[in-house]
Structure 1
Amino acid sequence: MKKLILGMAIVASALVFGQKEDANAKLQVANKAAMDAYSAKNYTTAAPKFLEVYNLLKTNGQDDKTYMYYAGLSYALANNSDEAIKIYTELINSGYTGIQTTYTAKENKSGQVATYDKSTWDLLKKSSSKDYSDFKTEQTKSVEPDLYETLSTLLLNAKKNDEAVAIIEKGLAKYPNNAKLKELQGTGYYQSGNNDKFLANLKEQLAKNPNDPTNWYNLGVLQAKDPATTNDAIASFQKAIELGGSDPKVTNNAYQNLVYTTIGDDEKAVNEINALRKTKPDDATKLIEARKERFNKALPYAEKWYQASPTNLDTVTMLREIYMMTKNQAKAAEMKAKEAELNAKAK
């Protein structure tokens, strides 16, 4: 699960009521406090101040949800998930997109381009005056995809998986090609234990981007749960290693899972061998040989895991056990000494 990343810039606006002076003064004070707090990364203070600006505007007939959005963003950055979730949910339900239109025209005498409100811009454009030209409008980008992505992330982090999946599916209905929502959908399915849908999601993502090592790794994890797809899991982990060489976390985890997947349920195997030793010794011998073969196959993966993570105690312990099983006493002794060294450092 990726960490929540929010990078929307807060832009100061020129706010004025044209009504009561005291109301306008309150607005300016609240707006400055919000902007100053946000600029200082004091998001805990900025969030309620942005809400104050929003409510002051709304009281005076201007329902500008931009400031509610700024409040939600600040709450999220302040790690106040409950308040952020409330605001982002309200924004999505209201249909807020954040799209804003700017109206500009050039003053021919000075050659400067200025921004106007729509009414003034329309009047200037309709007038026969030759004082203005180059009338242009420009729209900002919609923040609606960001709303869905951020709310989904907040809900997943709060372990509200069913709510997250519902929001993700609602977002994907509007933005079916949104890669971030598709990734979050897989996380939602995984966290809610819906492995079948998670598997389908992974395969869909890999069909679009077959070079994603994390998705190959996750696919291997799911495949490793079913003994019938063990070979598929091994192939997926190998693919993750091939593609994820620059990401040690993916590589280390993939090697670790290759070892465990290749060995299989060793406790179960040992219990079966012990149960057959007296009554069916020949069958027990076959199981012993099969177990040795699995450990031999796992050995190169374990050695690669150790190369990638030589100070990991689990890695060293597993490699020692494999060397013991494959009768390499010298290497087993080397790993035993390394194990003792790591244990001593940990104390």
Structure 2
Amino acid sequence: MKKLILGMAIVASAFAFGQKKDANALNAQLQEANKVAMDAYNAKNYAAAAPKFIEVYDLLKANGQDNKIYMYYAGLSHALANNSDQSIKIYTDLVNSGFTGVETTYTAKEKKTGQVVNLDKATWELMKKNSDYSDFKTEQTKSIEPDLYETLASLLLNAKKAPEALAVIEKGLVKFPNSAKLKEAQTTAYLQSGNTDKFVSGLKEQLAKNPNDATNWYNLGVMQAKNPATVNDALEAFKKAIELKPDFSDAYQNLVYTTIGDDAKVVGEINALRKDKPDEASKLIDARRERFGKALPYAEGWYKANPKSIDAVSALKEIYVVTKNIEKVKEMKAKEAELSAAATK
């Protein structure tokens, strides 16, 4: 699963309460809480920003303005602070409330100064009758509802809550059926919950839409390699991953081991046959050498992609032993010793 990425630009808000009692004092309190929240957020002190955004929300709500964007900011801040439980609760409440984050701004231009001013809707309507203002405009912000579903799904998956994540994902896909992030999260949730058949189906569905995703080809290969009936499909999937990402070390590694197969089992069979059935043992030896020969270019690719991997060096050394390339065996033994010595320093 891809790492959860969070971030957005939080902008300052203007607060206005008309002629309500103690409006000035309340406005000052709101401005102070908002400033503290924003300063903390911009300083990346997300743990401090979250409760201050909640304070702003509570103050507004107590005065008749249920502006959930501040709860969104609080949930985002909690997520960035790795307070997953608090973030999950806020995002869940926002999703269940149907919150979209869409806001309408109302502006007008002051003829005398040419300055564009922000107004609340009621004032904006009244100002239309005022000859001192012109260019009355409204704008709507973009919906953040898809982000709410996608982020909540990722938070739940990071918290290893696959059943809850699947419920959110399925609800989100009803509204946003083309969301690639939700589809990817759904595939991850299937794997996390142990539903490997649906995981593989999800990978194939994603690859049908985007056949250039090396990671998905690799993941598909990993799953196919677990089933003897689809080992050849796994090899092709790993090859496709490398074709798309030539330095994909893990894909080379899996190509090596999948091509060789269960070598310990084969060696055991050879040793059991050596004394009484030498001809059969020889056939197994030849077949083993052939498999190692097929694995050789993949092992060399693995070593090239990750020359500091002692596993890659050891695998390549073993293949050279089996394929009887003595000079290369010496070279890999020296490299193996060098890497082992470096690891102990």
Aligned-partner Cα distance in 2 for 1:27–1:106: 26
Aligned-partner Cα distance in 1 for 2:112–2:63: 37
| 159-168 vs 251-260, which moves further | 159-168
Cα deviation digits, residues 141-200 of structure 1 (max 9, x gap): 111111111111111111112211221121111111111111112221222222111111
Residue 60 of structure 2 aligns with which residue? 57
Structure 1 moving runs of 4+ over 6 Å? none
Residue 19 of structure 1 aligns with which residue? 21
TM-score relative to the length of structure 1: 0.93
Count how many residue pairs are aligned between Structure 1 and Structure 2.
341
Residue 179 of structure 1 aligns with which residue? 180
Residue 232 of structure 1 aligns with which residue? 233
Which residue type is aligned with residue 118 of structure 1?
K
Q: CA deviation at 1:109?
A: 4.6
TM-score relative to the length of structure 2: 0.93
Residue 88 of structure 1 aligns with which residue? 91
Question: Matched residue of 1:135: which SS?
Answer: strand
Residue 32 of structure 1 aligns with which residue? 35
Q: CA deviation at 1:335?
A: 0.6
For structure 1, the 5+ residue unaligned runs are none
Q: CA deviation at 1:110?
A: 4.1
Q: CA deviation at 1:271?
A: 2.3
Aligned-partner Cα distance in 2 for 1:43–1:271: 58
Aligned-partner Cα distance in 1 for 2:118–2:29: 25
Residue 336 of structure 1 aligns with which residue? 333
Say whether residues 1:46 and 2:53 are aligned partners. Answer: no
Aligned-partner Cα distance in 2 for 1:61–1:108: 32
Aligned-partner Cα distance in 2 for 1:108–1:55: 37
Which residue type is aligned with residue 293 of structure 2?
N
Which residue type is aligned with residue 10 of structure 1?
I
Q: CA deviation at 1:279?
A: 4.5
Residues 309-324 of structure 1 aligned to structure 2 (within 5 Å): 309-324=306-321
Aligned-partner Cα distance in 1 for 2:40–2:274: 73
Residue 2 of structure 2 aligns with which residue? 2
RMSD, aligned α-carbons: 1.7
Say whether residues 1:217 and 2:232 are aligned partners. Answer: no
Cα deviation digits, residues 92-147 of structure 1 (max 9, x gap): 1111110001122334454443322111222334x3x5544433221101111111
Say whether residues 1:253 and 2:247 are aligned partners. Answer: no
Q: CA deviation at 1:278?
A: 4.1
Aligned-partner Cα distance in 2 for 1:89–1:280: 67
Q: CA deviation at 1:243?
A: 1.0
For structure 2, the 5+ residue unaligned runs are none
Which residue type is aligned with residue 96 of structure 1?
F
Aligned-partner Cα distance in 2 for 1:136–1:40: 34
Say whether residues 1:150 and 2:151 are aligned partners. Answer: yes
